[in-house]
Amino acid sequence: MSDAWLMGRARELIAAAQTGGPEEQSGTIREADRLLREAQRRGEPNMIAHLLRSSSVARLSMHDMVEAAEPVLDEMLAHSRRHGLVVLQADAHALRGRRLLLTGADDAALTEAALALAILDEDLTPDVNIGRRSWQRTLSSALTDIALVLTQLGVYEVADQVMGRVHEHIRDAGGPHEIAVHLINRVRLLIGWGLRLERVGDESRALEKFDLAASIAPATEAPFRQSLFPRDSERTAVEQVPILGAAVAMHQPGAQHIERLYQLLDVSQYPRERIIVAIACGRCLERVGRHQEAADMLGRTRDQLQDRESEPTLWLGLVREYARLSGPDSIQRTTSALEHYVTELEAELWGLRESRITTLNTRREHERLAREHGAIARQALQDPLTGLPNRRVLDERLRKLAHTPDAHPLTIALVDLDGFKEVNDRHSHAEGDDVLRVVASTLRDSLRGDDLVTRYGGDEFVVLLPGAPLHSARLALIRAVNAVEQLPRQLSRGVTLSVGAVSVRAEESADQAIARADTAMYEAKRAGGNQIWTTPGGGANQGADPAGGDPPWVPPSGT
């Protein structure tokens, strides 16, 4: 199976997990975990991060597996940080927020959403390793996950702004599935927003939200039919997707919607779907005078969702609707319903005694400033083009390694790009910069976590491999050379690597060792490039690795 197939199947599994029954969802989780293990075996960081996302989203789709999603999300966050996958790092925070909401931890979920927003507020650069279109899809998924958390929290104004950003990227890079998902989520946001406006008596604005939601629902038909969602080709999207069916009914409640809404209520899997469909159905029943049936249906829905805390704002809307429709015929039931509504209302107001929007913006700004401060500190130690450590870091690490016994034997490699000048001459310096970024990322991902890859200048890199005898270091560097050679030509423009590697000798300064590595690198170039030359002793010998290795490096006095 190809890498592209793995990524495509991961997207299919997310769609299946979000629409299937418990048995299908369990099978989806098992398959997602198998694909994750395969991705980890192959070692490509971006693919691993996407498979971690698929595995975590599949778990979040099952009520009984929410806690099991936590370690997967922690791994996704750590992996994304380690490999500089900024957008997926933000997505991990957003998904952590979703998990926290499912356990009733609203305030912690708000913090995760603020962290995710702060990350994506930065000046983001598309990942040239995956292409702009794929990067935009990844970004739209992360923004969508943030918007869903904010929608569940009732922070509709900010959620709407985030949805606007999603629309921009979906318009440029989205396929039918991404478009369908976006439109469904947009309808969900508008209905929740409208219900919230009703609670504060703003009926005119609420109607605007319901009308807009109803106008979007039929527009979902075409992309839905080409999406990854399981579907019945004989029925419309409005007849199959609970949120869309509810939107049409909320716009013009009436008898024509009742049968369909009952069917959608039966197939609704998530609290948000059940609540919205139940409210829409209740209003249709009310419109035709079936008040008792409406109240009974809303009461059953309320009782079934009693322990679900993931939709605090919608839940309160359901309780309010039940109270409103309980009717004057039963004073005892009306009083009980109203008391329950007031209790729930006071609980929400107590929990929201400070505006959630203000809290979100404050935390978002705090995180933005913290990241900005960290970025300023990193800039002094980071090459701005490739994101790799610079020569200052190289010098500091060499000083530390001089006093670290476990670092010896120490191998230093100097890496130079073959054919890079031709890239600048034939294409442009901008394309040359893209090639440098791709090669830098490939080098870093091909070596061990303890190895240090630094940009030395121009198209040269220096690699430190502490604790690696020359023969072991050479094998690791061969992996890097092969990885660059195997890059798609549209990314690498055909460049390869010439590498000179040396084992640091006793009483040898770092500058002397780097000079020897430079000499070995030029031997590799003279031999045709795309290879490694090593220097264990005095001269350069391709692949030399004498038994016994070199004596430990002892820093010269005064160094």
Is residue 170 assigned to a domain? no
- H helices of 43-127, in order, are 45-60, 69-82, 86-102, 106-120
Task: Tell me the pLDDT band of 403, cut-offs 50, 70 and 90.
Answer: low
Supply the pLDDT for residue 304: 85
Q: Is the pLDDT of residue 222 over 90?
A: yes
DSSP H or E run through 283: helix 271-287
Supply the pLDDT for residue 296: 92
Task: Tell me the pLDDT band of 556, cut-offs 50, 70 and 90.
Answer: very low
Residue percentage of the chain with pLDDT more than 70? 86
Supply the pLDDT for residue 344: 67
Among the ranges 359-363, 455-459, 467-471, which has the highest mean pLDDT value? 455-459
Is residue 515 assigned to a domain? yes
Supply the pLDDT for residue 372: 64
Closest C-alpha to 17, from 49, 54, 44: 54
If you count DSSP H runs as helices and E runs as strands, how many of each does the chain have, helices first?
A: 25, 5
Supply the pLDDT for residue 391: 87
Supply the pLDDT for residue 339: 60
Residues in the chain: 559
- The residue segments making up the domain with residue 396 are 391-535
Task: Tell me the pLDDT band of 338, cut-offs 50, 70 and 90.
Answer: low
- The mean pLDDT of 386-403, rounded to a whole number, is 82
Is residue 418 assigned to a domain? yes
CB 153 within 8 A of CB 101: yes
Q: Is the pLDDT of residue 551 over 50?
A: no
Is residue 14 assigned to a domain? no
Distance of CA 409 to the CA centre of its chain: 39
CB count within 10 Å of CB 335 equals 12
Supply the pLDDT for residue 379: 60
Q: What is the mean pLDDT of the chain?
A: 84
Is residue 144 assigned to a domain? no
Span 65-94, pLDDT tens digits: 889 999 999 999 999 988 889 999 999 999
Supply the pLDDT for residue 342: 60
- The structural domain count of the chain equals 1
Closest C-alpha to 43, from 479, 540, 491: 479
Span 115-126, pLDDT tens digits: 999 899 888 888
Is residue 470 assigned to a domain? yes
- Mapped onto helix, strand or coil, the DSSP state of residue 541 is strand
- Sheet containing strand 531-535, edge to edge, reads 452-457, 460-466, 410-418, 496-503, 531-535
- The mean pLDDT of 514-528, rounded to a whole number, is 91
More confident residue, 299 or 424: 299
Look up tokens 């031709």; give the residue. Answer: 422
Supply the pLDDT for residue 557: 37
Q: Is the pLDDT of residue 374 over 50?
A: yes
Distance CA(489)–CA(494), nearest Å, equals 5
Q: Is the pLDDT of residue 168 over 90?
A: yes
Is residue 524 assigned to a domain? yes
Span 282-315, pLDDT tens digits: 999 999 999 999 999 999 998 888 556 667 778 8
Q: Is the pLDDT of residue 446 over 90?
A: no
Span 232-269, pLDDT tens digits: 889 999 999 999 999 999 999 999 999 999 999 998 88
Q: Is the pLDDT of residue 319 over 60?
A: yes
Supply the pLDDT for residue 554: 35
Supply the pLDDT for residue 31: 93
- The mean pLDDT of 377-403, rounded to a whole number, is 79
CB count within 10 Å of CB 261 equals 26
Among the ranges 354-358, 360-364, 385-389, 448-452, which has the highest mean pLDDT value? 385-389
- Preceding peptide of 409 cis, ω within 30°: yes
Q: How many CA atoms lie within 13 A of 37 on its CB side?
A: 5
Is residue 294 assigned to a domain? no
Supply the pLDDT for residue 349: 54
| pTM score above 0.85 | no
Whichever domain contains 520, its CATH number is 3.30.70.270
Distance CA(173)–CA(7), nearest Å, equals 16
